[in-house]
C-alpha cells in the first residue's frame, strides 16, 4: 500500500427527514445561490420543502435553474455572474451530479477574476471558492462527497474533469426517498457509473492494498444485490439507501488512496459524451466489458480472477484465465439485466470521430493497471461498435 493523506471535510446527513439540516447554511452567511436542473425537484416537491426551510431561517435565495445533464460552461458562467451581482455567500446544489458539478465550478468561479473555463482546464487555478452544499437526488457520481466536477463546452466537443479540495461540499444531505422518482434509465446508468468508479480503483498493480480491494468488492456486491431491486421497486427504501451510500463511498478517496490508480474507462467515456452528449453511465456500461476484454492477459488474469471469485462467487478450483473470462461475462450479463446498452450503435455512435476522440482521451494518462495508447483506445471503441 502506498502513502496517502486522507481527508474529507464533507458532513453527511443521511436518511429520512435530514433535509431539516438545511438550516445549518446560516453558518456560511445570508445569501444563497440555489442551483438545480431541469425541474425534477419541482415535480417531487423537494424545491418547495427546501425553499421553506431556507426562508424560515431568513436566508435570501437567488436561483440558477436549468443545469443540463452533462452541464455546460455557459450555465456555469451564468451562475458566476449571479454570484458576483448578488453578493452570494454560498452555493446550494439540489439534484444529481450535473447540478452539483455545476455548483462547484460556480463556487470557484465566483472567487476568480478570469473565465470559469480556465478552472475547468486547470484545477490548480482554483485558489478560493464559496462554500458548497448539496442535497443529492440521484445515486451515481459521488460528487456530493468528492472534489471533482465535470463540465462541457459542446461547441468545441470538450468535456473535462477538474478538481480541488476547495470545492468539496461542506455538507451534503442524502435522503434516499429523494431518489424514488429517478427513472429506470437513470437508475441503471447511475449503477453503471458507481460500478465503474469502483472498477477504476480496484484494478491496480499496487501490491498489498487489501483494505481498498475488499472494500471495493463489498461495494460491488452491494450494487449487484440492490440495483435490480431499485429498478423493479423504485420506492424500496433499503435498496435506494444502499445505492446512495455506495455512490458516495466509491469516489471519496476511500478506495483509491494508497492504491495508486489512474482511471481509464472514464477518460474514454468523457469523449463519447463530449461528441455525442450521451448519458455518462450508459457510455461506461458499453465500454467497461470491452475494456476488460482488452485488459485481460496472462499478467492481469489473476486480478480479474480475484474479482470473479470475490464478487461473483466463481469457482476457486478453475484456473485464473477461465475465472477471469467468466467474471467479464458476469459483468456483461449484469449490465444486460439492468437494461443498459451494450454497443455504441445503440446510443447513436459510429466510427466518425474515433480518431479524434481517442487522441483527446490519450492526451492525458489513461490507465495504470494496463496503460492505454491512442491505438488501444481506438481498438476498444471498434470492439464496442
Ligand atoms: O435536471 P433534472 O430535472 O433534475 O433531471 C435529472 C436529469 O435529467 C434527472 N434526475 C436527477 N434526480 C432525479 C431526476 N429525475 C427524477 N427524480 C430525481 N430524484 O436525472 C437526469 C440526469 O441527472 P445528472 O445530474 O446529469 O446525472 P448524474 O448524477 O449521473 O451526473 C452525470 C454528470 O456527472 C459527471 C458526468 O460526467 C456527468 O456530466 N460526473 C461527475 C463526477 C464527479 N463529480 O465526481 C464523476 C463521474 O465519473 C462523472 O464523470
Ligand atoms: Zn463516473
3-class SS of residue 208: coil
Least reliable range by pLDDT among 100-104, 238-242, 366-370, 378-382: 366-370
Please give the C-alpha separations between residue 380 and each of 138, 196, 271, 374, 375, in angstroms, as whole numbers. Answer: 29, 16, 13, 10, 9
Which pLDDT score, from 0 to 100, does residue 298 have? 97
Q: For ligand 1, say whether the CB of 247 is within 6 Å of any of its atoms.
A: no
Ligand closest to 256 (CA) is: 1
Distance 266 CA to ligand 2 centre (A): 6
How many angstroms separate the CA atoms of 35 and 76, rounded? Answer: 10
Closest ligand 1 atom to the C-alpha of 180?
19
Q: Whose CA is nearest to atom 7 of ligand 1?
A: 69
- Residue 112 alpha carbon to ligand 2 centre in Å: 27
Ion ligand 2: protein residues whose beta carbon lies under 5 Å: 193
Our CA angle for 306, 308, 314, nearest 5°, is 115
**Sequential DSSP letters for 149-181:** EEEEEGGGTEEEEEE-GGGS-SEEEE-GGGGTT
User: Would you state the pLDDT for residue 368?
Assistant: 86
Determine whether the shortest distance from the Cβ of 149 to ligand 1 is under 6 A: yes
Verdict on whether the full-model pTM lies above 0.85:
yes
CB 67 within 8 A of CB 102: yes
Give one word for 31, left, alpha or beta, with left for phi > 0 and alpha for psi -120 to 50. beta
Spell out where the chain has E strands: 11-14, 31-36, 60-64, 90-95, 132-136, 148-153, 158-163, 171-174
Report whether pLDDT(89) > 90.
yes
pLDDT tens, position by position, 297-348 = 999 999 999 999 999 999 889 999 999 999 999 999 999 999 999 999 999 9
How far apart are the C-alpha atoms of 229 and 338, rounded to whole Å?
Answer: 10
Give residue 98 CA to ligand 1 midpoint distance, Å: 5
pLDDT of amino acid 246: 98
The answer to whether 118 touches 106, Cβ cutoff 8 Å, is: no
At 366 the pLDDT is: 85
- Please give the distance of CA 229 from its chain centroid, rounded to a whole number: 21
Crossing angle for the helix pair 280-295 and 184-202, to the nearest 10 degrees: 40
| The pLDDT of residue 321 | 98
Residue 351: pLDDT band (50, 70, 90) is very high
Considering only 9-23, 197-211, 355-369, which range has the smallest mean pLDDT?
Answer: 355-369
- Judge whether 282 and 340 are in contact, CB under 8 Å: yes
Which atom from ligand 1 is nearest to the alpha carbon of 190? 30
Rounded to the nearest 10 degrees, the angle between the axes of helix 354-363 and helix 265-276 is 130
Q: What atom of ligand 1 comes closest to residue 69's alpha carbon?
A: 26
Q: Which of 42, 79, 39, 44 is nearest to 62 (CA)?
A: 79
Q: Is 97 in the pocket of ligand 1 (CB under 6 A)?
A: yes
pLDDT at 365: 78
Each residue of 159-209: pLDDT tens digit?
999 999 999 999 999 999 999 999 999 999 999 999 999 999 999 999 999
pLDDT (0 to 100) of residue 229: 98
The Cα 241–Cα 223 span in angstroms is 11
> Residue 100 in contact with residue 64, Cβ under 8 Å?
no
CA of 280 to the centre of ligand 2 (A): 7
pLDDT at 155: 93
The reported pLDDT for the residue numbered 197 is 98
Give 253's pLDDT tier (boundaries 50, 70, 90): very high
For the chain, what is the mean pLDDT? Answer: 97
Amino acid at each position: 500500500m502506498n502513502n496517502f493523506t486522507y481527508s474529507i471535510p464533507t458532513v453527511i446527513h443521511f436518511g429520512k427527514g435530514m433535509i431539516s439540516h438545511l438550516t445549518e447554511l446560516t453558518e456560511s452567511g445570508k445569501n444563497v445561490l440555489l442551483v438545480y436542473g431541469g425541474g425534477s425537484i419541482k415535480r417531487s416537491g423537494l424545491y418547495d420543502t427546501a425553499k421553506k426551510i431556507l426562508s424560515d431561517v431568513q436566508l435570501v435565495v437567488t436561483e440558477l435553474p436549468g443545469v443540463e445533464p452533462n452541464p455546460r460552461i455557459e450555465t456555469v458562467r451564468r451562475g458566476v455572474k449571479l454570484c458576483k451581482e448578488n453578493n452570494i455567500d454560498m452555493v446550494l446544489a439540489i439534484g444529481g451530479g450535473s447540478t452539483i458539478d455545476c455548483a462547484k465550478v460556480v463556487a470557484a468561479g465566483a472567487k476568480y477574476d478570469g473565465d470559469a473555463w480556465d478552472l475547468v482546464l486547470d484545477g490548480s487555478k482554483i485558489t478560493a471558492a464559496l462554500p458548497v452544499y448539496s442535497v443529492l437526488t440521484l445515486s451515481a457520481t459521488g460528487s456530493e462527497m468528492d472534489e471533482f466536477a465535470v463540465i462541457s463546452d459542446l461547441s468545441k466537443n470538450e468535456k473535462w474533469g477538474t478538481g480541488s479540495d476547495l470545492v468539496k461540499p461542506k455538507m451534503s444531505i442524502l435522503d434516499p426517498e429523494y431518489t424514488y422518482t429517478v427513472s429506470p434509465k437513470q437508475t441503471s446508468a447511475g449503477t453503471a457509473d458507481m460500478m465503474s468508479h469502483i472498477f477504476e480503483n480496484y484494478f491496480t498493480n499496487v501490491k498489498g492494498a487489501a483494505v481498498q480491494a475488499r472494500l471495493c468488492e463489498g461495494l460491488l456486491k452491494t450494487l449487484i444485490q440492490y440495483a435490480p431491486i431499485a429498478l423493479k421497486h423504485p420506492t424500496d427504501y433499503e435498496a435506494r439507501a444502499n445505492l446512495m451510500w455506495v455512490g458516495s463511498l466509491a469516489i471519496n478517496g476511500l478506495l483509491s488512496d494508497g492504491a495508486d490508480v489512474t482511471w481509464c474507462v472514464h477518460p474514454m467515456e468523457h469523449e463519447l459524451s463530449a461528441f455525442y452528449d450521451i448519458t455518462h453511465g450508459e457510455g461506461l456500461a458499453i465500454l467497461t466489458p470491452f475494456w476488460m476484454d482488452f485488459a485481460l492477459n496472462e499478467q492481469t488474469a489473476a486480478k480479474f480472477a480475484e474479482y470473479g471469485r470475490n464478487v461473483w462467487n466463481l469457482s476457486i478450483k478453475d484456473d485464473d484465465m477461465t475465472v477471469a473470462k467468466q467474471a467479464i461475462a458476469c459483468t456483461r450479463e449484469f449490465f444486460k439485466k439492468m437494461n443498459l446498452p451494450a454497443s455504441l450503435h445503440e446510443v447513436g455512435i459510429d466510427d466518425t470521430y474515433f480518431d479524434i476522440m481517442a487522441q483527446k482521451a490519450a492526451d492525458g494518462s489513461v490507465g495504470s493497471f494496463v496503460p492505454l495508447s491512442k491505438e488501444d483506445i481506438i481498438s476498444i471503441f471498434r470492439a464496442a461498435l
